Structure 1
Amino acid sequence: MPVENKPSGPLRVLFVDDEARILRALKALFRDVEVHATTDPRQAPGLAAMHDVDVVVCDQRMPEMLGVDVLREIKANHPRAMRILLTGYSDLKAVLGSVNEGEVYRFVNKPWVNSDLRGLVIEAGAISREAPIVASDELTGIEQNVARTQVGVLVIEDDTTVQQRLREILQPHYQVRFANTAERALQVLEQHETGVVISETATNHGTDLTLMLKALKQYHPHIATVVITERANAQTVIELINEGQVYRMLIKPVRMGSCRLSVDSALGRYWKLKQNPQAVRRYGVTATPETLSAQTRMPNSLLSRIRALPARLLGIGR
């Protein structure tokens, strides 16, 4: 169903940046929409709710407060707003926070390209107004029991030590299946309803798994992806946010508490989207030309098999 009390009138955007000159440039770029702006990030959550904004574009590096902390508060208090993080720094900690805490829609590097930023904000605004909100990924005890019975968790990992660790953490609680190659992962996805994919960014033999993760999100955005890696760098994570909408990213060694919490929450996200498929638009992605070109070189026609994954196994209608 559509967003309740669907907003009308011009798009409403909140810009948050401690540099006044940046805000002046953004206001000029978006002179045809309703713009709210502040150089004080502490005011942003209140402004977002007060003006019922559709989109928040927030800088990361600010003296009073980091952008990811601002977006986390806005997510809690005004979840309808789509959140975009703007920064000139490739700060891994900030990028990881934007995945795990702020759940940003996109990550934009300064200096931005005017046409790209305009297109992104307008797209995000349309989604904010038209797609329902998933306010919480937390399931009731009954929902959780049903979800764990019906929905599988796929782990893509070829390190036997990590596999064993994840078995110990996850198998007592979920239907967990393991794959050590992309080919085996596709076989699992073709045979079993899978709501959560846990994956490294690459195998120990050098196979890039990020292309598969991006394609999976591109064609089946309701599946929640948790990346567990020791190979993290800021640029890879940014790409996985923008093109893979990674749900959570954890750094090895795997900790039981954070892993269980992440998988519980990811399963909840999948289950909520399964019940409310129109909300999936909030988590969609569009592959870049570079990624589309790289995907055509994926082995064994994996891309066509990802596209063809049957709706009955994905638990969502088309």
Structure 2
Amino acid sequence: MGLQQWWFILIGVLFTGYFVLEGFDFGVGMLMPMLGRRSDTRRRVMLNTIGPVWDGNEVWLIVGGGAMFAAFPDWYATLFSGFYIPLLVILVALILRICAIEYRGKIDDDKWRRRCDWGIGIGSWVPAILWGVAFANIVRGVPIDADKRVTSGFFELLNPYGILGGVTTALVFALHGAVFLALKSDGEVRTDAVKTAAWLALPAVPVAGGFVLWTQLAHGGKAWTWVFVGLAAIALLAVVALTQAAREGWAFVFTTVAIISAMVVLFGSLFPNVMPSTTDPAYSLTIYNASSSHYTLMVMTWAAGFMTPIVLLYQGWTYWVFRKRIHVDHIPPSVGLPLASAKD
């Protein structure tokens, strides 16, 4: 296996890790208006389930983008210029979400907290949808000219396949988040999360199944990726049964398997392209014509081989430390500043 193939796989792993880990963070934020509507304490329980890990989960996106920039600079340049508007909207939504989570408890005022809750919700729903739209269009292909520039606009990305991709990621992340919330909470929050996961699983199966099947049949699916199409289907069907039985631990395992399988189908369908051109296949970006030099890839490989195990061990340790369930009784009274003091 050459270095180009190795780095294509590694970037796929990084984005898959981001979707698995940040996916349930998005899901918890998406479900806050529904599951947290009864009291502020319930909303704080929901935030505390992701509180110790959400910012670490975002590192996967940063590393994935950095790896793309260093290993495949032409892919990075074409993607970030051609998808400028959706990626900018995702960035703004993520910043809004970060600020809302960090500053929600700084001021002891119900109106302030409601505004932050809106920020968390918007900052979760928007990326959950637009990441699906973006990845669907990367696999489908966009008009790219001989100068490696995308010649279409934002609204061309909102084609039926792209929209289905956005609906799929929104539903799957919401389901993933509900299952994670059931796994990490206790009492009434867990009970409601289990019920929510059970009914979210019903639309998620046909929508996600349809998207993965469409990808396989119409957008470059390989013979070997049928294995992962079947694995994704089995995992989603298992989630339906497990959420109905309130087996959230195994349900979380299978939502994770479904996301990983779907990402393997997407990246497997894409390979060896990194951005197919619908203008002319000769203008498509591949792992060969979009990559950095051999020396650059070699240095990056040594750095990744040294740092990746350290990062994985640290993040695994974080999840182990904060593994216990959270109950409403564990939430202390709010200690934020009064609104008047905060304004001063």
* TM superposition score category, shorter chain reference: under 0.3
TM-score (norm 1): 0.26
Higher strand share: 1
Greater relative contact order structure (CA < 8 Å, 6+ sep): 2
Higher helix share: 2
TM-score (norm 2): 0.24
Which structure would you say has the larger Rg? 2
